[in-house]
């Protein structure tokens, strides 16, 4: 099985997380979870998903944005 790998800011050479099975998008952050339950929250936004290469490219915000409304 070839699950997705997430990279930050214009395709860093090393993935920030591998074997990603679940993604939840918010206004100011991306929540990732692996098939094995390891989670990571990244302040930023997804700018590209390449399904053929199983690659997710995330633009990471350098400063945390304001929290989501109603969360």
The residue behind tokens 């099975």 is 21
- Position 70 scores a pLDDT of 56
Residues 6+ apart with CB under 8 A from 32: 6, 17, 20, 22, 23, 39, 40, 41, 42, 56
pLDDT digits (tens, 9 = 90+) for 34-62: 999 999 999 999 999 999 999 999 999 88
The pLDDT score that the predictor gives to residue 34 is: 97
d(C-alpha 10, C-alpha 55), whole Å: 12
Supply 24's token pair: 């939840």
Q: How confident is the model at residue 5 (pLDDT cuts 50, 70, 90)?
A: very high
Total count of domains within the chain: 1
- Span 6-31, pLDDT tens digits: 999 876 689 999 999 999 999 999 99
Residue 68 lies in a domain: no
The answer to whether residue 71 sits within a structural domain is no
Domain span at residue 26? 4-45
Whether 40 is in a domain gets the answer: yes
């Amino acid at each position: 099985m070839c699950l997705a790998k997430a990279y930050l800011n214009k395709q860093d050479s090393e993935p920030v997380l591998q074997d990603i099975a679940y993604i939840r998008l918010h206004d100011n952050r991306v929540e990732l979870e692996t098939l094995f339950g390891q989670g990571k929250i990244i302040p930023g936004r997804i700018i590209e998903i390449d399904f053929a290469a199983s690659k997710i490219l995330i633009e990471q915000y350098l400063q945390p944005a304001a929290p989501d409304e109603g969360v």
